[in-house]
Structure 1
Amino acid sequence: MSFPSDIEKASHDHVEEFDPVAFSELDQEHHDFLMQRHGSVQLDPLPSSDPLDPLNWPDWKKNFEILLIAFQTFSSTFMAAGLTPAFEPMAEAYGVIVPTASYFTSAQIAALGVMPLVWVPMMNAYGRNGFLTVSTLICAGLNIAGGFCTTYGQQMATRVLVAVFISTASAAGSSVVADLAFSHERGKKNGWWSVALVVGTPAGPFFCGFIQQHAGTKWIYFVFAFMNFAQFILWIFADETVYYRHGPQPEQKGFLRFLGIRKNPDAKLSLSVFFRPFRLATNFNVVMAVIAASVTFCYANIVLVVELPQAMGALFNLDAQQISYQYISLIIGSLIGEVLAGPLSDYCMKRCIAKRGGKRVIVDRLWISYNGFLCVIVGLIVWGVYLYKAVPGHWKISPLIGGAVASAGNNIVATVLVTFAIDSAPELAPDVGLFLNVARQTFGFLGPFYFPAMFTNLNFAGSAGLMSALVLVFGAGIIAFTHFIGARKA
């Protein structure tokens, strides 16, 4: 069932810290299967001998599933931020002020943070594929309806509902990667959906600025609908990644089977399950990673995306299309950050494991995060200082270079810390993704309420200094402390 190119070759690159008890219990048939499929039995986690086990799927199939969840993760932030170029025309059409129109985005950020707490436990219990497939079709219909809304209340209802249903994917990335990837490749594979989440924020205003300029607001919603329908088609061809390891795979009949929904006997759905992610507040490593990632995401992503139209648009007299060009810098920076993050993170772990004589210490992964924090701090200072010095009406690229550097750093930090958090509690990977998502989205949701006052009172240079200090203390500082504590215990 596998192609030769899909078989992972036996080399030190694929040898991991594995469970010796599980290894000792392998029967000969299981051992031979793993050697034929993976070229090694030293795998974490250890797959079953079932070819249908997602860990045993061909690499192309695993990558398809992860890229698909990354695409839907991308669309969640793309659609929330993509309305930015349309705030002014929507405010005029609905008879409200521009700050009130901006609540279309703020409301979606809040929903994207909270709703995964509901969706993810349900997907763990009944499978992810059915929920992800149906939700995209519902979102397509809601976005078509958004193009025909005539009142503020109608549009707010469609935006909130879109966020509610698209959020099925916004915190499921870590779960899908945990279902499909071994620990030695989680850094790279988590980076795919992590960069999609981050890039979606500047990509939305970038593409939608052109749409707003040449086709009008309603076509922004229609483009969203096209994206959702494409996702719906792709999910039809995807397979379920939730795997039952303690007996025959559960089956469902009738309409539920048609929807791809099946009950997993391993998952017990109760009220306590929906609050379980908050138990990770007692896990020191996870909490430190979540705080650092949330602060960095807010000040190296949200603030740059939200303030760019007001800052550069007003300062340099730019129209919607010209404003959209500015977001290219943030997209390029994020992509560069991912190139430097996931593969470099995994490579660093392999080197550290080799130097420690085969011992795997999860805090070793944090070495790469310091590069990200440094880029964020330097990038924010360049962005703020050059905006402060800019002459009105005379466009300069200098602030955008700073924004690109900060975006690259943010993606390095996000990829490394997400993987570190999951390594700290691998058995709770879905809960880690939820806990991180709630914290990051909530902190990001609060930002736009105080950003204007901060820039008014401190100007761009002073605000950049303040944000850099916060990243230094609550980002790099607490991660360095975590690194120190973990290294001493190693």
Structure 2
Amino acid sequence: MLPNDNTIETEDDIESKASAQGHEFTLPSPHSSSNRPLKLDPHGYPLRPQPSDDPLDPLNWSPWSKCFVLLQVSFLGFLGPFSQGCINSAFALLSGAMGVSVTVASYSTTIAIVFAGIAPFIYSPAANIYGRRPVYIISTAIGIAANAGSAVCTKWGSLLVARAFVGIGTSVGMGIGASVVGDMYFTHQRGKYMGIYVVFVTNGAHVAAIVGGFTAKYAGWRWCYWVPTIILGVTWLINIFCLPETLYQRSSVVGDQRRSRFQLFNFKGVNVKRRPSLWDFTHCFYMLKYPGVLLAGLYYSIAFGVGTVLFAVTGAAAFGSIYKFDTAQVGMAIGISTTVGSLLGELVSGSVSDKVFYYFDQREEGNAEPEKRLHATWPGAFILPAGVIIEGVCFQYKTHWSGPVMGIGIGAFGLQIVSTSIFAYLTDCYRPQSAEISTLLNFGRLTFSFTLGFYMIPFAKETSYGIAWAVLAIINVVLYACIVILIWKGAEWRKRIGKPTFGYGL
């Protein structure tokens, strides 16, 4: 339907069209007639999904309310990698206190990352049944207790157990945060607002390097655990009073029954109709049957490891041995460059992603496929590996320290561009299953990332930094074929396979 077309389509009309084309469409709420005229976006095209008439529908919340919720969820996503990585700059101090080697001390972060990748497989089905709010509140409380426990541990074994619970308690924002963005924003807005969420998640580890380096140097390694404990505690108190339920189960609302705003802030914000079953915990894996999820997830997982984690896990060894940096200097070299690169990337990635989608939507009279959004990833696909190669070559030839720092920033810039569009694309395709998709992306990036620390420095010593870093950059470029294939065949495959059979009414 063209913006100036005099034909008025109803929700029934667009539901049939969307179903035939494989687009996202949300069934109308019982509050309204299914034959009412469509609600349009600012460009005159039908909103995707169509909001209900219920003022408590998150799609109908005011922009300021949505923004406040987005910032809370994004900050929780930030605190996951921040809490897990704040100790990274203090491994030498930790190893001395616990009587283990520096390499063994690094396992305290590794175990947190592993459990951070696993825990969201439980959070995802729980969030879809009981709501986002209770899962956030309970898991964050676990994270606070676990970080405090880590700070007071005197034995290595008990510290590892506490760190495992740090991963469990702080991973909720990383695992299901994207689903909250999908709950509140329309398709034409998701590039911008999903980008804000992604930049927080990406920069948690970057800021941890800066804060952890100075904290360890001037306050001791235990404060690398106390600082996340305090920040998580303050955030948790804000969430209790200010984080509403965003899961809106349209199919659970009967007749003209309306909820009060108070219900959005208690543990009854969602009308629970059933108990969780074993099938619910397989939904994440079931989503791998869809080529869009599998291929985009594979590329994103490797890109995240290459474009941010590689810098973090090798920075201390590389900057320390080549430039003789101390912990604080290493933290600044990695943290400032990655943070600035990511922020600059977000300034262009979110808005460009939405504009690219609107361009194709305009050309195709409001019927653009979600795969069109992936065209916005082209610049990042080449900027990211270029930054990795620059850092590797600068390390190899021992240039001025500004050389590898510049490479890190360029790599982070490219990563932000591809990450934002991939998250938005997958949410556009499978919004009711956004919690499962967010969990899979979190698991994929952490699974690849935590292994980098084991082999990249030895690989560089056996060959050279230039060769080792170039190998990862080439792998990343080759895997971009996954995105190219989706641009070419993704829509066709999505229509042929159909939609998942769970999650409707969300």
Q: 2:453 aligns with which of 432, 448, 456?
A: 448
Distance 2:417 2:373 in 1: 12
Q: 2:69 aligns with which of 56, 60, 65?
A: 65
Is the contact between residue 250 and residue 265 of structure 1 (CA under 8 Å) also seen in structure 2? no
The one-letter code matched in structure 2 to 1:89 is L
The one-letter code matched in structure 2 to 1:429 is S
Q: Percent identity?
A: 27
1:464 aligns with 2:469: yes
Aligned to 1:342: 350
Aligned to 1:387: 395
TM-score w.r.t. length of structure 2: 0.86
Q: 1:352 aligns with which of 360, 363, 383?
A: 360
Following TM superposition, the consecutive aligned residue runs of length 4 or more in structure 1 with deviations greater than 3 angstroms are: 16-19, 21-41, 248-251, 256-259, 261-268, 486-490
Aligned to 2:499: none
Aligned to 1:279: 286
Q: 1:437 aligns with which of 427, 442, 462?
A: 442
Q: Deviations over 1:93-120 (max 9, x none)?
A: 0010011110111111111111100112
Is the contact between residue 124 and residue 267 of structure 1 (CA under 8 Å) also seen in structure 2? no
Secondary structure at 1:339 match in 2: helix
Single out whichever of 433-442 and 18-27 deviates more from structure 2.
18-27
The structure-2 alpha-carbon separation of the partners of 1:49 and 1:487, relative to structure 1 and needing over 3 Å to count, comes to closer
| Deviation, structure 1 residue 141 | 2.7
Aligned to 1:150: 154
Distance 1:270 1:488 in 2: 32
Secondary structure at 2:54 match in 1: coil
1:135 aligns with 2:128: no
The one-letter code matched in structure 1 to 2:372 is D
Q: 1:322 aligns with which of 326, 329, 335?
A: 329
The structure-2 alpha-carbon separation of the partners of 1:257 and 1:350, relative to structure 1 and needing over 3 Å to count, comes to closer
Q: Deviations over 1:211-264 (max 9, x none)?
A: 11111112221111111112112211221111221225899xxxx999625664
1:125 aligns with 2:129: yes
Q: 1:106 aligns with which of 100, 105, 110?
A: 110
The structure-2 alpha-carbon separation of the partners of 1:324 and 1:19, relative to structure 1 and needing over 3 Å to count, comes to farther
1:367 aligns with 2:375: yes
Is the contact between residue 371 and residue 491 of structure 2 (CA under 8 Å) also seen in structure 1? yes
The one-letter code matched in structure 2 to 1:131 is V
> What is the total number of aligned residue pairs between the two structures?
472
| Deviation, structure 1 residue 29 | 7.7
Distance 2:283 2:365 in 1: 36
1:180 aligns with 2:184: yes
The one-letter code matched in structure 2 to 1:376 is L
Q: 1:222 aligns with which of 207, 226, 234?
A: 226
Q: 2:163 aligns with which of 159, 165, 172?
A: 159
The structure-2 alpha-carbon separation of the partners of 1:454 and 1:239, relative to structure 1 and needing over 3 Å to count, comes to same
Q: 1:77 aligns with which of 73, 81, 99?
A: 81
Aligned to 1:411: 416
Aligned to 1:396: 401
| Deviation, structure 1 residue 356 | 2.4
The one-letter code matched in structure 2 to 1:388 is Q
The one-letter code matched in structure 1 to 2:446 is Q
The structure-2 alpha-carbon separation of the partners of 1:477 and 1:258, relative to structure 1 and needing over 3 Å to count, comes to closer
Q: Deviations over 1:347-371 (max 9, x none)?
A: 1111111122332122211111111
Is the contact between residue 456 and residue 468 of structure 2 (CA under 8 Å) also seen in structure 1? no
Is the contact between residue 79 and residue 204 of structure 1 (CA under 8 Å) also seen in structure 2? yes
1:235 aligns with 2:239: yes
| Deviation, structure 1 residue 33 | 11
Is the contact between residue 144 and residue 225 of structure 1 (CA under 8 Å) also seen in structure 2? yes
Single out whichever of 420-429 and 403-412 deviates more from structure 2.
420-429
Structure 1: state its 5+ residue gaps. Answer: 1-9
Q: Deviations over 1:159-180 (max 9, x none)?
A: 1111111122221112101111
The one-letter code matched in structure 1 to 2:366 is G
Structure 2: state its 5+ residue gaps. Answer: 18-27, 496-506
Is the contact between residue 38 and residue 46 of structure 2 (CA under 8 Å) also seen in structure 1? no
| Deviation, structure 1 residue 309 | 0.8
Q: 2:267 aligns with which of 236, 260, 265?
A: 260
Secondary structure at 2:171 match in 1: helix
Is the contact between residue 40 and residue 47 of structure 2 (CA under 8 Å) also seen in structure 1? no
| Deviation, structure 1 residue 18 | 7.4
The structure-2 alpha-carbon separation of the partners of 1:151 and 1:259, relative to structure 1 and needing over 3 Å to count, comes to farther
Single out whichever of 423-432 and 175-184 deviates more from structure 2.
423-432
CA-based RMSD: 3.1
Aligned to 1:422: 427
Q: Deviations over 1:25-76 (max 9, x none)?
A: 8998899998699997921111111111111111111111111111001000
| Deviation, structure 1 residue 385 | 0.4
